[in-house]
Amino acid sequence: MKLNHLKKSDPRLYKLISAEIKRQDETLDLIASENFVSPEILEVLGSPLTNKYSEGYPGKRYYPGNLYYDEIEELARTRALKAFKLNSKNWSVNVQPYSGSPANLAIYFALTKPGDILMGMDLASGGHLSHGHKATISGKLFKSIQYSVDKKTGLINYSEVEKLAKKHKPRIIISGYSAYPRKIDFKKFGEIAKSVGAYHLADISHIAGLVSAGFHSSPFPYADVVMTTTHKTLRGPRGAVIFSRKEKMLHASGFMLHEAIDKTIFPGIQGGPHNNAIAAIAVAFGEALKPNFKKYQQQIIKNARVLAESLKKYDFNLVSGGTDNHLLLIDLKNLDIGGLEAEKILESAGIIANRNSISGDTSPFNPSGLRLGAPAVTTRGFKEKEMKKIADWIYRLLIKKEKPSLIKKEVLKLLKQRRLKGRPLTNKYE
Ligand SMILES: Cc1ncc(COP(=O)(O)O)c(C=O)c1O
């Protein structure tokens, strides 16, 4: 994949893209939701598949010329089901959502009627904006009830969730988060949802790779709908997929869940599917079915755990005391810095990690947490040894207050030894 044409015709943009590729190569990516896709996925995303309109679904399109797209979309669907060991008799999958937030929105529109209540985890506890936060459509158009983690333990208090559900009788209960470092009891969520006549939506955007590889328990036996973005631990292109049980809806008698969701994606809230992204999703699920993917997911968990243990040795406080998955949250309250400052200090040393709210925080702009994730550095080939090094850098930057410029040199040296094998690097573009 080369940018030779762009270089000639649009040098300004070429320069910006080249600079971004260099930035990715020369900084340490600890953003828990990011990853580096394979060269195959980049090829497919940049292919002529982007040229075509194919509104509708395989076998029923509203444009001609979709012979190959039908097959591509079917392939993405089949592989998606296979990646989570699902049978097409019981589960349907929609691979057209443009991204996670519109996918959640479509699910809400499909499953609720006016006045219904959504119940998700609040942002400060690790939930996602699209789970009913008042700044988003999900919190404006729907009545939203939010549950929190226990302030002391940082863990989900399932009896609290149950109490809230019994009191408010939501139509949808959402499990799955953006900044929760522990395993989720999907069975418990399924039971609570059933007991109040709610749908259980599991949003596994963050942990989909870990679930697919068998390291986290599967939500599928206990959920009505499962949504995942495709670009986090799954390591695919930006996009999302929605799995729905082939069952009748709870309140719209006679209607099937998956049909309602398909209709809400198209023509409900989307137009033509992004065919290049769908083909790249097929590649990503194909990659997820290979034995190496399991090793990769296992290494992510090992790396996150070693990073957590090493930070604890330096007296950092971690929300919930550690991690079971790909991410961890430092609680900075015992230090003399906030999340915003910590993020900036790390960035000036070439370490990219985002500030994050933790339970009880009121300002998402300057929260008291820092979220660290292992998926991207693990793709880069980092193992336990390098994770210990990262903990040491964070300690020297945030506690010992060493000069970021000195640490930046060490970071760069390590990154140059762990280049992204087979993934396009700066020099290939110049
Ligand atoms: C749990 C969860 N759901 C949904 C989303 C939304 O995905 P997108 O950014 O693709 O809209 C995210 C994104 O970070 C997420 O973490």
| pLDDT tens, position by position, 156-183 | 999 999 999 999 999 999 999 999 999 9
Q: What is the dihedral of CA 424, 428, 429, 430, to 10 degrees?
A: 150
Q: Is 338 helix (H, G, I), strand (E, B) or coil?
A: coil
Please state, in angstroms and rounded to a whole number, the distance separating the CA atoms of residues 307 and 392: 9
- Give the ligand 1 atom nearest the CA of 178: 16
Q: Where in the chain is the domain with CATH 3.40.640.10?
A: 45-288
Which regions of 293-368 does DSSP assign to beta strands (E)? 317-318, 327-331, 351-352, 354-356
- Let me know if 232 is a catalytic residue: yes
Which of 172, 216, 229, 274 to mutate to test ligand 1, by most ligand atoms within 8 A of the CB atom?
229
**Class at the top of the CATH hierarchy for domain 45-288:** alpha beta
* Residues 102-145: tens digit of each pLDDT: 999 999 999 998 889 999 999 999 999 999 999 999 999 999 99
- Give the ligand 1 atom nearest the CA of 176: 1
Is the predicted pLDDT of residue 354 greater than 90, yes or no? Answer: yes
The residues pairing with 327 across neighbouring beta strands, listed in sequence order, are: 373
CA of 240 to the centre of ligand 1 (A): 9
Q: Is the CB of 229 under 6 A from ligand 1?
A: yes
- Let me know if 122 is a catalytic residue: no
Q: Looking at residue 135, what is its pLDDT?
A: 93
Percent of the chain with pLDDT over 90: 91
- The residue whose CA has the least distance to atom 6 of ligand 1 is 100
- Of these residues, 77, 79, 232, 408, which one is catalytic? 232
Q: Looking at residue 63, what is its pLDDT?
A: 95
Q: Is the CB of 354 under 6 A from ligand 1?
A: no
Do β-strands 369-373 and 327-331 pair in parallel, antiparallel, or remain unpaired? antiparallel
Question: What is the rounded average pLDDT for all residues in the chain?
Answer: 95
The pTM of this model reads 0.96
Q: Looking at residue 430, what is its pLDDT?
A: 37
One-letter amino acid identity for 153? T
Q: Where in the chain is the domain with CATH 3.90.1150.10?
A: 293-429
Q: Is the CB of 212 under 6 A from ligand 1?
A: no
Mean pLDDT of 292-300: 97
Residue 428 — pLDDT band, cuts 50, 70, 90?
very low
How far apart, in Å, are the Cα atoms of 78 and each of 99, 283, 332, 385? Answer: 19, 12, 44, 38
- Of these residues, 55, 185, 259, 392, which one is catalytic? 55
List, in order, residues 6 or more apart from 119 with CB less than 8 Å away: 132, 144, 145, 146, 147, 164, 165, 168, 170, 172, 173, 174, 198
Please state, in angstroms and rounded to a whole number, the distance separating the CA atoms of residues 105 and 139: 11
* Residues 227-285: tens digit of each pLDDT: 999 999 999 999 999 999 999 998 877 899 999 999 999 999 999 999 999 999 999 99
Q: Contact at 8 Å (CB) between 100 and 242?
A: no
Q: Which CATH number fits domain 293-429: 3.40.50.360, 3.40.50.11810, 3.90.1150.10, 3.40.47.10?
A: 3.90.1150.10
* Residues 364-417: tens digit of each pLDDT: 888 999 999 999 999 999 999 999 999 999 999 999 999 999 999 999 999 998
- Give the ligand 1 atom nearest the CA of 239: 10
CA 270 to chain CA mean position, Å: 21
- The residue whose CA has the least distance to atom 15 of ligand 1 is 178
Please state, in angstroms and rounded to a whole number, the distance separating the CA atoms of residues 59 and 101: 27
Is the predicted pLDDT of residue 12 greater than 50, yes or no? Answer: yes
Q: Looking at residue 83, what is its pLDDT?
A: 98
Please state, in angstroms and rounded to a whole number, the distance separating the CA atoms of residues 91 and 86: 7
Q: Looking at residue 115, what is its pLDDT?
A: 86
- Let me know if 392 is a catalytic residue: no
Q: Looking at residue 429, what is its pLDDT?
A: 41
Q: Is 395 helix (H, G, I), strand (E, B) or coil?
A: helix
* Residues 38-49: tens digit of each pLDDT: 999 999 999 999
